[in-house]
A and B are shown apart, each in its own frame.
Chain A
Amino acid sequence: MVVRVPTARSGTDLTADREADGVVRKNLAARGSRRTPRRAPRVALFATVALVLAACSGDQSALDPAGPFAQRPQDLIVWVFGIAVVVFVLVQGLILYTSFRYRRREGDDSMPEQVHGNTKLEIVWTLIPAMILAAIAVPTVQLIFEQMDEPDVDYLTVEVIGHRWWFEYYYPDYDIYTANEMAIPVGMPVRLEMTATDLARSPDLGVIHSFWIPRLAGKQDLVPGHTTYLNLQADEPGRYIGQCAEYCGLSHVNMRTRVEAMGMADFEQWVEAQRTPAPIPVAGTLEARGRELFGDLGARQACASCHQVWEGDSPRGPAQGPDLTHLWSREEFAGAIHDLTPENLRAWLANPNAMKPMQYEVNGIGMPNLNLTDDELDALTAYLETLR
């Protein structure tokens, strides 16, 4: 079938589809020139939205909620952001329009009318924003209370204590101490009871920190001398990352944290493992030597003076440094900034301040360089690897 393109005749729309024999022949040549201008904005819009959505996801993204305590604030802010966009377009549009429409044209020396104001207009743009804001205020206040109240279903309590520069976690229901990585069951609210250490607890005078796992909840400060609370909940299993979000000094950026959400069965298994005392290595092995050194480094400060490894013979208690009883059950260490591998751990023990600025000699905060020999490093690393 040959499509005959009509020749130019006045009055003929050369771009139109032709109808012949009851069939509409699409004018493909005109298609290109007519369609593209209309399609391009739509494609651009789709691409922008896709890019924006893709750009919103991220392991630490506040725009990618994974639980209700992050989802609800997002649901609210989307409305507010939408209103903000409307206001933005209105105001910037007015500015652009006014700038172009009322610019002085070349050679125009006429004077404008000296308008002093317009009471009606001024009342409108006072009242309308006030009403919009009043409308926003209502769901905002409601959500403030909803987010902060105790959940009205069963929830898990975890105590969080901020140190320079690591997060301590204590599960009061299970008498578990751990550091930097918190395990929680999926689908259950978790209520964090939080504070920061202070001189009453440890030689660190204590500073303000903030706990923040964006995909699970907003942040909440950890203030010495106060107990603050944060609700969070993960609706999908996974490893959620976050970091300290209140400047706390030298290694503020190196104070990170992880929440590992898992099914209830897995969580209960984790709890059982964490409640098991640390194994005592067989006498005479390298690991046993490491355990000895852990408790006594002669003239140097012993690891055990700051770190607890619970062997079941005494009550568990808080310590100045991270609890190491189940160190090897964690994936990262040193404030969750390094992967927990034997090489990394050995390098850390050899010179902690090189792997995380702490200036222990100046501050007395963090971990000292104990000037360990190679043999000592071998033994200690081997011992710590047994703490699963």
Chain B
Amino acid sequence: MATTTAAGTDTARIRPSKSTGFLSWVATTDHKRIGILYFWTVLVFFFIGGVESSLIRAQLAQAELSVLTAEIYNQMFTMHGITMVFLVVMPFAAAFFNYLLPLMIGARDVAFPRLNAFSYWFYLFGGIFLYSSFFLGGAPNGSWVGYAPLSTNAVSNMAFYAVGLQILGVSSLASAVNFIVTIVNMRAPGMTFMRMPMFVWMTLTTSFLLLFAVPIIAVALFMLQFDAVFSAQFFQPATGGDPVLYQHLFWLFGHPEVYIMILPAMGIVSEVMPTFSRKPLFGYAAMAFAGAAIGFIGFGVWAHHMFTSAIGPVPRAAFSVATMFIAVPTGIKIFNWVFTMWGGRIRFTTAMLFSVGFVSMFTIGGLSGVMHAIVPHNAQQHDTYFVVAHFHYVLFGGALFGLISGVYYWFPKVTGRLMNEKLGKVHFWTWLFGFNLTFGPMHMSGLLGQPRRTAVLPDELGPTVELYNLLSSLGVIVLIVSASIFLFNLIRSIRRGEASGDDPWDARTIEWMTATPPKHHNFDVIPVVTSRDEFWHRKYAESEQGIPVAVPVGASVDHDADGDAGHIHMPDPSLWPAIHTLGVLPLGYGLVYANWLLIGIGAVWMVTGMFGWIIEPLAEGDDDEPALAGSAAH
């Protein structure tokens, strides 16, 4: 029974109500705030991952250096890979999914707001858990793929890897479910699938990829952890286990994973390019279909990471052919982007520069990828710096360029200010130059015989390889300068950037219709959607020649309506996701050290958190619990 006396009693049953202050961020269920939390956390991990790569490049700047010991070096490249994949690129995409998805489909939040918060906290705690390993005997050093049996050996510290990635996997899986349900169920009236922004299509495809891929690595990691900590024999050949099983399970996840990392950036580019070309996305249906095809075929090419492993010629041939054919839908997308630009009136804002850079650099990475599909030569390229060059071109030149483009593009909507364009252009050109200087030479050093994951640059590879390595290391210095410019621009623009207004870019999709920054409830009135690029069609009608003509009566921005949104029901904030997820820390450490007390504490904590979550009432009360007098209903 609820009491109606002073607000101090029965506080556990009242939802947090403050909208400012530290606790309001801990209790937030607002997708926009969660997106912002992801963004800043990503920047911190990006900095850390950058430090790791800088140390690596310092060690390899010349032959036979001893800047780092072999042990530390091996931890550096392992953590660099884990950080950039799981703690930077994937959550960076999540930041965009979180902030933009409801706005783009005309919803007020995601389907499961507390689960959304849960995903963020699990990400944060998973990252902290992984990094605590540095202070607890050493970080994982078995490489980001963690091949068994090496990773089941205690010296690899890979128990932190197995448990840490498990935590991050749960975070991603929860997000995937959340976004799929949101997109399927919560689109604005009139917004059919074929009228959704392309970014939403990519979100949907990525979420399905996560849904099917993450459970596979969960299985692999369970088996790895049990081999490492509890003496299971899944991957131990002496007792009938098989190391190749790990590789299959890992790459069945690992290959869809790389598409999980690139599709969001492709979605961003598909939003940025039409806006700044002033034309619709070329070949919308093909783009949606190609994205889905990439995702689907992506589940059928995993063993192309295993061409030199213990598999015979028949699977090698099959996966070679399958891999070549992924180039077809990828090529469709490249051409569609270029032809979006063709015939337009292109404005080269920083956001547009990064999107064009994406198309250009990703093409290079894609072409070296096709070369990898040629199995007999893959045997020369695999496990060398040629591969390192390839995946940095698609992940850095591709995914990162796309994500940064998104930052410059949506920054005004999130903050109400513009980022400085001059600094942005300096950032772009130095970033492009530094990136190519760092990773371009790696194609050659790999083909000249430099394997990857080597703690030292061997003298015997010769002076040419040494020169290429030096160039790569110098490139990192340019990148550091470039990143600093970006960070400076970001912070300064947040504080005193020029005011942007609601629609600074004359954009096409409905998130630009909201107030700037969007109000807590997003739209005063949920728009009724009658076409693709709904916002554009409210601003412009098309003449017979297909030339847009401004609609005289602006039916554009949403919040012209008197901002009386007093009766819109929004998801209440809640501390339970943060409380519940915090229990994963004792649970995780317990699993690493096979400490049953810690496992017990963590399990009980998390179950208690789950119950708190389930039974907490709505702030405005429900059938069993009428609202407490004075509790905020907003």
Interface residues of A, Cβ cutoff 8 Å to B: 55-56, 58-63, 70, 72-74, 76-77, 80-81, 84, 87-88, 91-92, 94-95, 98-99, 102-104, 108, 110-118, 121-122, 125-126, 129-130, 133, 136-137, 140-141, 143-145, 147-149, 198-200, 205-208, 210, 212, 214, 217-221, 223-226, 228, 241-253, 256, 357, 359, 362-363
Contact = CB atoms under 8 A, between A and B. Distances in A.
Contacts of A140: 317, 320-321, 373-376
Most buried by A among B347, B374, B449: B449
A318 to B, nearest CB: 15
A88 B380 contact: no
Given A224-B237, A252-B453, 9 more contacts: A63-B447, A77-B376, A84-B370, A91-B363, A140-B374, A144-B317, A199-B236, A243-B458, A245-B383
A208 B243 contact: yes
Contact of B382 (A55, A137, A208, A219): A219
The 3 closest A-B pairs by CB, nearest first: A218-B379, A225-B237, A60-B449
B332 A126 contact: yes
Given A130-B328, A225-B242, A247 B453 contact: yes
B321 A58 contact: no
Contact of A141 (B279, B321, B547): B321
Interface in B144-165: 147, 149-150, 152-153, 155-156
Nearest to B353: A99
A114 B460 CA distance: 59
Q: Among A63, A148, A221, A248, which residue has the most Cβ atoms of chain B within 10 A?
A: A221
B379 A219 contact: yes
A8 B359 CA distance: 54
24 contacts: A56-B447, A60-B450, A60-B460, A62-B448, A73-B379, A77-B371, A80-B377, A94-B338, A95-B338, A99-B346, A112-B345, A122-B283, A122-B332, A133-B327, A140-B320, A148-B313, A208-B147, A208-B150, A208-B309, A210-B383, A223-B309, A247-B383, A249-B142, A252-B455
Given A126-B332, A145-B317, A200 B324 contact: no
B552 interface: no
A144 B331 contact: no
A112 B376 contact: no
B282 interface: yes
A110 B547 CA distance: 9
A72 B374 CA distance: 12
Given A91-B338, A98-B338, A220-B308, A144 B447 contact: no
A168 to B, nearest CB: 17
A217 B378 CA distance: 11
A182 B460 CA distance: 18
Interface residues of B, number: 104
A220 B379 contact: yes
Interface in B351-391: 356, 359-360, 363-364, 367-368, 370-371, 373-384
Contacts of A133: 324-325, 327-328, 370
A58 B545 CA distance: 61
Interface of B: 69-71, 74, 141-143, 147, 149-150, 152-153, 155-156, 236-239, 241-244, 277-280, 282-286, 308-310, 312-313, 316-317, 320-321, 324-325, 327-328, 331-332, 334-336, 338-339, 341-348, 356, 359-360, 363-364, 367-368, 370-371, 373-384, 444, 447-456, 458, 460-462, 464-465, 540, 542, 545-549
A104 B341 CA distance: 11
Contacts of B69: 357
B367 A102 contact: no
